[in-house]
Amino acid sequence: MPKNPRPTSRLSRRELIAGTVGAVATAPLAAQQQAVETTRRPGRGPNGLDQRSPFVTPRRDPSPTSSRTPLQDLQGTITPADLHFERHHGGVPEIDPDRYELLVHGMVDRPTIFTLADLKRFPAVSRICFLECSGNLRRGSAETLPQMVCGLTSQTEWTGVMLSTVLHEVGAHEGATWFLAEGQDAAVMTRSVPMDKAYDDAMIVYAQNGDALMPGNGYPARLLLPGWEGNASVKWLRRIELSDRPFMTREETSRYSEPVGEEGQIRQFSFVMDARSIITEPAYPTTLEPGWHEIRGLAWSGRGLITRVEVSVDGGASWADAELQAPVLPKAHVRFRHSWRWKGGPAEIMSRATDETGYVQPTWEALRAARGPRTRYHQNPVTSWTVGDDGRVLFGVERLRS
């Protein structure tokens, strides 16, 4: 291959001088200059732990109790472990894996203590699924990022042992109908979980995207209940107790329950996350140029497969099917995309997910009509982004105001 770095270099310098005359030429010229500059000096050598480019700075949005995944900064469906949302009730404990143990007792033949190494010796299973906090909706203002609308959901390839395998090991009694999962954080988080879920698809996981769990996600081991509200997937799992009744802990009575109807009823043990979607781009704070854009977003259902995502660009007057990126996995985020030509003028873009049970993501009005005005968890309404004449994209907060 002929090499002629010098002429290229001279060309670059000439254009640099020419470029200073007109600002319009600056950006392409800077790119051309850089394309050569980086070839003129050796880059860094191999290192022990890579990190993002200094020009790439996605950040979770932390509050005193949670931090939200920057959905607008991500592509595909897997959430980088350090951007997975966090929600915890007593801070993140620092746990030495060599002194970590899991106690399984109650209605079992053999109350047993497992070390982390014990858990890892069991047959391992990997599964891609989403986690979502059931308090995952902020209505905020028009100037709201996707991260703030519903950034309390993330997706991971988890690896661990099926809980059913562990239950077989300890000899779970047939009469057991619930188990208590308890964390070793300062909240000593506890939730009761039906045994049906234990035998269906519950796992004890110790790996997140191939690596050890991040501390904020339960290092060294956590419960994983695919498709269920995140709080029940108890982190820093120290104890499992089998029983023939639920334990009625604070987090399944006064919290993570929701008023429904007009007669003061409170819905309890509402575990499953219903189907939902959100458009992650274009979204606030983007300003659109007229022309072709790809509407992109995520859809998921705790009841299984997403079968359809529809997109509207006219505020719901008409809908078109978006493309779903294969593979579509059950209880997992699926990426949807839809090409759209914005010709200028006001628009309102929105998405609507349908799952394999035939459930269609409801409007805010439909949710309120079904549950009454005081509902607080499991709010999964269709949300929208409005596009102004000037191309400015804002969160469609008016749709969530009734």
Cα torsion at 184, 378, 276, 381 (round to 10°)? -150
Q: Is 61 exposed, middle or buried (0-12, 13-18, 19+ CB in 10 A)?
A: middle
For residue 268, give both structure tokens: 């309890």
State how far the Cα of 101 lies from the Cα of 6, in Å rounded to an integer. 64
- The reply to whether 238 sits near other proteins by the rule CB under 8 A is yes
Which stretches of 156-257 are DSSP H helices?
Answer: 163-170, 195-200
Q: Is 358 exposed, middle or buried (0-12, 13-18, 19+ CB in 10 A)?
A: exposed
Sort strands 276-281 and 203-208 into parallel, antiparallel or unpaired. Answer: unpaired
How is residue 313 annotated by DSSP?
A: S
- The reply to whether 173 sits near other proteins by the rule CB under 8 A is no
CB of 117 to other proteins, least distance (A): 9
Integer angstrom CA distances of residue 194 from 79, 95, 152, 233, 270: 28, 28, 24, 13, 12
CB of 234 to other proteins, least distance (A): 13
CB of 106 to other proteins, least distance (A): 9
Region of 66-74, 131-139, 197-205, 249-257 interacting with other proteins (CB under 8 A): 249-257
- The reply to whether 241 sits near other proteins by the rule CB under 8 A is yes
Contact assessment for residue 352 and residue 360, using Cβ atoms and an 8 Å cutoff: yes
- Closer to other proteins by CB, 83 or 205: give it: 205
How is residue 194 annotated by DSSP?
A: E
- For 199, phi and psi rounded to 5 degrees? -90, -15
How is residue 365 annotated by DSSP?
A: H
CB of 372 to other proteins, least distance (A): 11
CB of 198 to other proteins, least distance (A): 17
- The reply to whether 11 sits near other proteins by the rule CB under 8 A is no
- The reply to whether 375 sits near other proteins by the rule CB under 8 A is no
Options 357, 388, 398, 402; binder of other proteins; rule CB under 8 A: 357
State the distance between the two ends of the chain, measured CA to CA, in whole angstroms.
68
Kindly provide the residue ranges of all beta strands, DSSP E only, lying in 20-152, ordered along the sequence.
Answer: 61-62, 66-68, 86-87, 101-106, 112-115, 125-132
- Closer to other proteins by CB, 28 or 171: give it: 171
- The reply to whether 59 sits near other proteins by the rule CB under 8 A is no
Region of 70-78, 125-133, 260-268, 386-394 interacting with other proteins (CB under 8 A): 260-268
The answer to whether the Cα torsion of 243, 127, 157, 220 is positive or negative is positive
- Closer to other proteins by CB, 59 or 121: give it: 121
CB of 307 to other proteins, least distance (A): 12
- Closer to other proteins by CB, 60 or 238: give it: 238
> What number of chain residues touch other proteins (CB under 8 A)?
60
> 142-171: which residues touch other proteins (CB under 8 A)?
168-170
Contact assessment for residue 372 and residue 261, using Cβ atoms and an 8 Å cutoff: yes
CB of 55 to other proteins, least distance (A): 39
> 122-141: which residues touch other proteins (CB under 8 A)?
122
Region of 33-41, 183-191, 200-208, 307-315 interacting with other proteins (CB under 8 A): 183-191
Which 3 state secondary structure label does DSSP give 131? strand
For residue 289, give both structure tokens: 């140029």
> 66-95: which residues touch other proteins (CB under 8 A)?
89-90
- The reply to whether 267 sits near other proteins by the rule CB under 8 A is yes
Options 279, 305, 367, 400; binder of other proteins; rule CB under 8 A: 367
> 295-334: which residues touch other proteins (CB under 8 A)?
303
Options 26, 268, 287, 339; binder of other proteins; rule CB under 8 A: 268
List residues binding other proteins (CB under 8 A): 89-90, 103-105, 110-115, 118, 121-122, 168-170, 180, 182, 186-188, 190, 238-239, 241, 243, 245, 247-250, 253-255, 257, 260, 264-272, 274, 303, 355, 357-360, 362, 366-367, 369-371, 374
